[in-house]
Amino acid sequence: MLHKLTNVVTRFPKTTISLVLIATIFFALQFPKIKIDTDPENMLEQNQPDRVFYQDMKKEFDIHDLLVVGIVDGQGIFNPDTLRRIARVTDDILKIKGVIIEDVVSLRTSDNVTSENGTLVVKRFMEEVPQSPKAIEKLKNAVYGNSFFVDKIVSKDGKATSIYIPISKKAESYRISEEIERILKKELSPEQKYYLAGLPVAEDTFGHEMFVQMGITAPLAGFFIMLLLLLLFRKGVFLIPPMMDALLAIIWAMGLLIGLRFPVHIMSSMIPIFLMPIALLDDIHILSDFFDRYPSIKDKRKTIIATMKDLYRPMFFTSITSAVGFASLAMADIPPIRVFGLFVAFGIMAAWFFSHTVVPAIIMLMNERKLAVFLERRQQKRSFLDRMLKSLGNFAFAKSKVILIGASIILAVGIIGIKQIHINDNPVKWFKPKHKIRIADKVMNKFFGGTYMAYLVVKGNKEDAIKEPAVMSYINKLENHLENLKIVGKTSSIADIVKRINYVLHNENKSFDSVPKKRDEIGQYLFLFSMIGDPNDLDNFIDYGAQKANIWVQMKGGDNIQMRRVEESTYDFIKKNPLPKGITVRWSGLTYINKVWQNLMVFGMLKAILGSFFIVFLLMVFEFRSIRLAIVSMLPLSFAIISSYGLIGFLGKDYDMPIAVCSSLSLGMAIDFAIHFLQRLRAGYKKYNNAEAINAYMFQEPARAISRNAIVITFGFLPLLGATLTPYVTVGAFFAILMIFSFLTTLVLLPAIMRLWGKALFAKEVSG
């Protein structure tokens, strides 16, 4: 069937290209319908239990995603000019559309609980900006006299203040952060530094910059690949087939995704980067084989037919194994990962189709006279690559036993390295260290209790359960335990408010800085506070029926490992200090949700990759009709994965989202070389009688095609290393590492194996 397709394509090249372009227009017309989703929370299913619980608790406690502004004055914030500027900044922020005005926490908006003549008084810290030294000292004493706000809205050293800004929609955090930044630039003096932090702004900024980076790095990578192809093939016209294949595959995959109404998420935005190298692989094999055959055949059509005949099987199996590798992600528990995997798989098979249609058609349209002159002249020259491959082939043949011993050692070292890998991620670390988001994160977590918010929800089995002294005291003890953890900088809860009221109503006697021992007294304090103060101040910490309480946990780091350690430490504390009867606790919050989806992604992808590894092995058994050859074909893949991840372990790089996603790429990319090598080796055993002649044959055109692919992929994505976002840097670096290990395994380890056991493995070809 494929042979008939090649015959038709080579007879009607213009018609073939026209039909493909007409179909491509349909996919391209879908692009204006694009919908962008940069919310990592959508990594979880709508009905995923942790996500459902998080949504419920946000409604119950009127919780909103927070942006955190930090203002730092090296001379201290407690002076008239700085306080006046802080007040103006806060007032202007309250005017921004999308800001939840009543829940903004700052020096300007927060209430202080005091008493006058035994009466509870709740009033703003800084309703008016103090001007005199006496008034400023009074403000300072008021703030530092209430531990609830120290390390929250003011730093211990008095050099920084913060503003917690809840927003109505997380998707608007980038727009709101830009408006806030304009206010800060306008109102603050050059001596005063400002910082903008918080997971929502980090995640939405990443989403914004992600598409900017895609618009820069993807074309830049494509341009760099074109330069490499020009260097390898020495004629501009030969760049057209592979680059057109890659471009069409990307348009078809992204057009179908958008046309089916899937939003372009953080994951699916990387589809073009993943498709580009895979789409080129088969085309480089076609061009390399065509170059070598044409001078002897001297007819374009006959050369293409002869070339394609030998490449039908290897191209199909390299494409299908790559597609299987990505399609296996459909088994993951993360919706955007499933979408990403399935549409990359579709793009791979589209690229395979273009390799059989568009590429031969474009070659047929090339000027035959110029082509003949160029290829004959080219064949007479022996390139540096040819000389290098001959030396490499001689080395692999002569040192086969040493190579096998060395490979065994490298594998053992790789396994040791893999054991050093830590599964960890943090969206803030998706930016480079000098990015303003990273700098803000570092500074803000130095001055304050932490910008990473998590919530610990305490639930009773009946109404007013939280008002029980035993429950309120337990919340207080749980807070104390959490604050003793290095990563936790600050906690806040209803227990803190109750303790504060008890303290001030007893003339600030330290013996009353505790939870009252009577239930009625706790109830009276809460009622009194709600009547005199702002009821919104309680909403974030206790529900209407006093059946649930919410402990705010501010962390100085948002790594998955850090969140997991806090979670485990909490449950260890509960195990040693049993909860009051009828009480349960459960973690939530954006930092916790990130840990949940990232863990699901990592382990889900690991499960998917292991499953697809087995499927690829079965495909290799079917392809080679031999279990032993199938095992050999999996060696470059296994060696590349173990060596690459072993290196990652030794370098101390965390197994994060980009690394997890790249693991799916390793299946198709690494085995591509082995399939082509073994297919051509099979032909070599039919043609030659001795191992040395077969080895010499393998290190001519077959090795050249593999080398060209390795060079293009290894160096073609170096522009990604200059991206401002670390996932793109990781993808670029991982591509290079994976290709180097795959290339070396295929052209060094496989020839060594063939020298020792080739006759046994290819017994049918030898006897035939």
Q: In DSSP terms, which residues pair with 150 in a beta bridge?
A: 154
How far apart, in whole angstroms, are the C-alpha atoms of residue 678 and residue 742?
A: 14
Residues with Cβ within 8 Å of 288's Cβ and at least 6 positions away in sequence, in order, are 701, 704, 705, 708
Domain edge (last residue) among 133, 162, 197: 197
Q: What is the enclosing helix (H) or strand (E) of 552?
A: strand 548-555
In-domain check, residue 58 = no
Domain edge (last residue) among 538, 572, 590: 590
For 83-87, 299-303, 344-348, 601-605, which range has the lowest pLDDT when averaged over its residues?
601-605
For 159-168, 206-215, 470-479, which range has the lowest pLDDT when averaged over its residues?
206-215
The SS3 assignment for 655 reads strand
Nearest to 586 by CA among 47, 54, 22: 54
List phi, psi (to 5°) of 196. Answer: -125, 120
pLDDT digits over 274-306, tens only? 888 788 888 888 988 888 788 888 888 999 999
In-domain check, residue 741 = yes
354-355-356 Cα angle (round to 5):
85
Average pLDDT for residues 241-255, to the nearest whole number? 93
What's the confidence (pLDDT) of residue 483?
Answer: 94
Domain count for the chain: 3
Q: Are residues 643 and 496 in the same domain?
A: no
Both tokens of 621, joined, read 């058994």
Q: Is the pLDDT of residue 765 over 60?
A: no
Domain edge (last residue) among 565, 590, 615: 590
Report yes or no: 425 and 657 within 8 Å, Cβ to Cβ: yes
Confidence of residue 666 (pLDDT cuts 50, 70, 90): low
Domain that holds residue 300: 2-33+204-419+595-767
How far apart, in whole angstroms, are the C-alpha atoms of residue 404 and residue 402?
A: 5
How far apart, in whole angstroms, are the C-alpha atoms of residue 454 and residue 457?
A: 10
Q: In DSSP terms, which residues pair with 113 in a beta bridge?
A: 122
The SS3 assignment for 165 reads strand
Report yes or no: 552 and 491 within 8 Å, Cβ to Cβ: yes
In-domain check, residue 45 = no
How far apart, in whole angstroms, are the C-alpha atoms of residue 456 and residue 483?
A: 13
Q: Are residues 357 and 461 in the same domain?
A: no
How far apart, in whole angstroms, are the C-alpha atoms of residue 448 and residue 446?
A: 6
Residues with Cβ within 8 Å of 394's Cβ and at least 6 positions away in sequence, in order, are none
Both tokens of 719, joined, read 């522009």
In-domain check, residue 7 = yes
Report yes or no: 501 and 529 within 8 Å, Cβ to Cβ: yes
pLDDT digits over 87-133, tens only? 999 999 999 999 999 889 999 999 888 888 778 888 888 989 998 99
pLDDT digits over 450-502, tens only? 989 999 999 999 999 999 999 999 999 999 999 999 999 999 999 999 999 99
The amino acid at residue 390 is K
Report yes or no: 745 and 640 within 8 Å, Cβ to Cβ: yes
Average pLDDT for residues 386-409, to the nearest whole number? 88
Average pLDDT for residues 222-229, to the nearest whole number? 82
In-domain check, residue 671 = yes
Q: Are residues 242 and 352 in the same domain?
A: yes
H runs (alpha helix) in 484-589: 494-505, 519-532, 536-539, 560-576
Q: Is the pLDDT of residue 17 over 90?
A: yes
- Domain of 570: which CATH number? 3.30.70.1320
Strand order in the sheet with 584-588: 488-492, 548-555, 452-459, 584-588
Both tokens of 191, joined, read 């001596």
In-domain check, residue 510 = yes
In-domain check, residue 404 = yes
What is the DSSP annotation of 51-101?
HHHHHHHHHHTT--EEEEEEEEETT-S-SHHHHHHHHHHHHHHTTSTTB-G
How far apart, in whole angstroms, are the C-alpha atoms of residue 210 and residue 218?
A: 11
Q: Are residues 464 and 569 in the same domain?
A: yes
Nearest to 436 by CA among 721, 213, 729, 195: 195
Q: Are residues 355 and 266 in the same domain?
A: yes
What's the confidence (pLDDT) of residue 121?
Answer: 84
What is the DSSP annotation of 746-764?
IIIIHHHHHHHHHHHHTHH
The SS3 assignment for 508 reads coil
Q: Are residues 333 and 444 in the same domain?
A: no
Q: In DSSP terms, which residues pair with 456 in a beta bridge?
A: 551, 587
Burial class (CB in 10 A: 0-12, 13-18, 19+), 524: middle
Average pLDDT for residues 10-14, to the nearest whole number? 93
The secondary structure of residue 510, as a DSSP letter, is G
The secondary structure of residue 490, as a DSSP letter, is E
The SS3 assignment for 454 reads strand
Nearest to 592 by CA among 623, 553, 630: 553
Calculate the average pLDDT of the chain: 87
List phi, psi (to 5°) of 189. Answer: -85, 165
List phi, psi (to 5°) of 190. Answer: -60, -25
Average pLDDT for residues 146-170, to the nearest whole number? 91
Q: Are residues 80 and 9 in the same domain?
A: no
Residue with tokens 């703030």: 143
Q: Are residues 213 and 185 in the same domain?
A: no
Cβ atoms < 10 Å from Cβ of 396: 24
Region of 158 on the Ramachandran plot (φ > 0 left; ψ -120 to 50 alpha; else beta): left
Average pLDDT for residues 52-58, to the nearest whole number? 92
In-domain check, residue 354 = yes
Q: Is the pLDDT of residue 139 over 90?
A: yes
Q: Are residues 297 and 313 in the same domain?
A: yes
The SS3 assignment for 732 reads helix
Q: Are residues 529 and 576 in the same domain?
A: yes
What's the confidence (pLDDT) of residue 764?
Answer: 63
Average pLDDT for residues 532-548, to the nearest whole number? 84
Nearest to 5 by CA among 248, 279, 308: 308
- For the ranges 177-186, 332-341, 643-652, the maximum mean pLDDT occurs at 177-186
- Domain of 249: which CATH number? 1.20.1640.10
The amino acid at residue 400 is S
Q: Are residues 229 and 347 in the same domain?
A: yes
In whole angstroms, how far apart are CA 616 and each of 304, 623, 678, 680, 756? 29, 10, 15, 19, 25
The SS3 assignment for 384 reads helix
The pLDDT > 70 percentage for the chain reads: 97
The secondary structure of residue 111, as a DSSP letter, is E
326: Cα separation from own chain's centroid: 16
Report yes or no: 680 and 622 within 8 Å, Cβ to Cβ: no
Cβ atoms < 10 Å from Cβ of 506: 14
The secondary structure of residue 423, as a DSSP letter, is B
Cβ atoms < 10 Å from Cβ of 582: 12
What's the confidence (pLDDT) of residue 269?
Answer: 82
SS (HEC) of 511-523: HHCCCCCCHHHHH
67-68-69 Cα angle (round to 5):
125
Report yes or no: 728 and 273 within 8 Å, Cβ to Cβ: yes
Residue with tokens 């190579």: 403
Q: Is the pLDDT of residue 422 over 90?
A: no
How far apart, in whole angstroms, are the C-alpha atoms of residue 221 and residue 198?
A: 32
337: Cα separation from own chain's centroid: 11
Inter-helix orientation angle 384-398/691-698, to 10°: 150
More confidently predicted of 699 and 455: 455
Nearest to 631 by CA among 476, 541, 538, 753: 753
Residue with tokens 């080679």: 624
Q: Are residues 584 and 621 in the same domain?
A: no
Confidence of residue 704 (pLDDT cuts 50, 70, 90): confident
Burial class (CB in 10 A: 0-12, 13-18, 19+), 369: exposed
Inter-helix orientation angle 271-297/368-380, to 10°: 80
- Integer-rounded Cα Rg, in Å, for the chain is 32
